[in-house]
Amino acid sequence: MPLAISGVVIVADRISKTSIQHSINLFDSVSVVPGWVRIVHTENAGAAFGLLADGNALLRTAVLVGISSLVLLFVASSLWGRGTGFTSPGSRIALSLILGGATGNLYDRIFHRTVTDFLEVYRGTWSFPAFNVADSAITIGAILLLIDLVRPRGKGVEEHARLAHK
């Protein structure tokens, strides 16, 4: 299951980014929900939200590829390592989304030196930095992982839920 979920994220990410690159000129935008959501073609040389976008390109790429590779190793070992504690379906789905998203963005960093971002949420003069399918998968995965990690577990929780339904 983790490979299938990650694979779907990677394929959706590649298709969406390639589609944007071939159909919308850099910095052009198309309104999807006027006043709220638009598709805008941007290329992000930095990390999330344009962090580290300035500076030495080779050093930036090496640092970002290195960090992404470490994240991928951690997620993969959490999914397939023995005794990791990430055995619940919720945490496995979350990690699979993170794995797919991180792989999608790492592919861009290695082969294009930038990451294509294209979804922008805005209102008036305020706008959230553009993002992509991989970023969305990472964010959703992280939220699901946090929910799964803080969710109560154990026999006492099950007993409490059973009594509450009587």
Choose the catalytic residue: 13, 28, 54, 117: 117
> What are residue 154's phi and psi, to 5 degrees?
110, 175
Choose the catalytic residue: 13, 108, 135, 148: 135
- Is residue 135 part of the annotated active site? The answer reads yes
3 state SS of 39: strand
> What are residue 38's phi and psi, to 5 degrees?
-140, 155
CB count within 10 Å of CB 27 equals: 9
Here the tokens at position 117 are: 């971002």
3 state SS of 117: strand
Task: Give the position of tokens 């939200």.
Answer: 49
CB count within 10 Å of CB 114 equals: 16
By annotation, the residues acting in catalysis are 117, 135
